[in-house]
Amino acid sequence: MAADKDLVITEGSGKKKTIMIAAGVLILLLAGGGYFFLFNGQDKQTMNNGAESATDSTNLKTTTGSALYVPLPRPFVFNVPGSARDRMVQIKVQLLVRGKENESLAMRHIPLIEGSLLETFSSGNADDLSAPSGRDVLKNNALSNLQQELLEVVGSVVVEEVLFTGFVMQ
């Protein structure tokens, strides 16, 4: 009877040991796969960005450095004409820049950025801004105008993207 009891315990611990080994192997495989997908993809992206910026110097997108967001201190409030009536619009904006140098340049030129964006925003139409596609067009126009203004003053493209973090139209 004692021999059967020992045999069962040995058999049970063998199953436990197999399950523990299988779980350990599974965890290692998942960790290795996660590492591969996470870091292998970034290396290719970094290499591609470096190749693009080295080969195409006229590209208006900045691709070096980490993404940083520069919030503008005040929302933009302005009137736009509409077919039925004029509308009041309020837009909160953040700027996507790459690297600490571009962040400090954007912070230094906030008045220029605000002036350029307000000029672009106020040239919109209420009927166009009521549709998402119209807001996208306005955002793209604001980005291209802002990049041109900063290119003339600073000599480089500072802002990669204009982001609307708030949009209200009354």
Dihedrals phi, psi of 163, to nearest 5 degrees: -115, 130
Q: Give domain limits for the chain.
A: 1-59, 67-169
Domain 67-169 belongs to what topology?
Tetrahydropterin Synthase; Chain A (3.30.479)
Quote the pLDDT of residue 124.
87
- The bridge status of strand 67-71 relative to strand 159-169 is unpaired
What distance in Å separates the CA atoms of residue 54 and residue 77, rounded to the nearest whole number?
A: 40
Quote the pLDDT of residue 165.
93
Strand partners, 80: 87
Residues 99-157: tens digit of each pLDDT: 999 999 999 999 999 999 999 998 888 889 989 999 999 999 999 999 999 999 999 99
Quick one: pLDDT band at residue 53, thresholds 50, 70, 90?
very low
Q: Output the DSSP codes for the chain.
A: -HHHHHHHHHHHHHHHHHHHHHHHHHHHHHHHHHHHHHHHHHHHHHHHHHHHHHH-TT--S--SS-EEEEE-SS-EEEEE--SSS-EEEEEEEEEEEEHHHHHHHHHHTHHHHHHHHHHHHHTS-HHHHTSHHHHHHHHHHHHHHHHHHHHHHHSS--EEEEEEEEEEE-
- Identify whether the C-beta of residue 158 lies closer than 8 Å to the C-beta of residue 109: yes
Query: What average pLDDT does the structure give for the chain?
Result: 80
State percent of the chain over pLDDT 70.
72
- The bridge status of strand 76-80 relative to strand 159-169 is unpaired
pLDDT(38) > 90: no
Quote the pLDDT of residue 50.
45
State percent of the chain over pLDDT 90.
51
Give the residue with greater pLDDT, 43 vs 113. 113
Quick one: pLDDT band at residue 48, thresholds 50, 70, 90?
very low
Q: Which tokens hold the place of 170? A: 């009354």
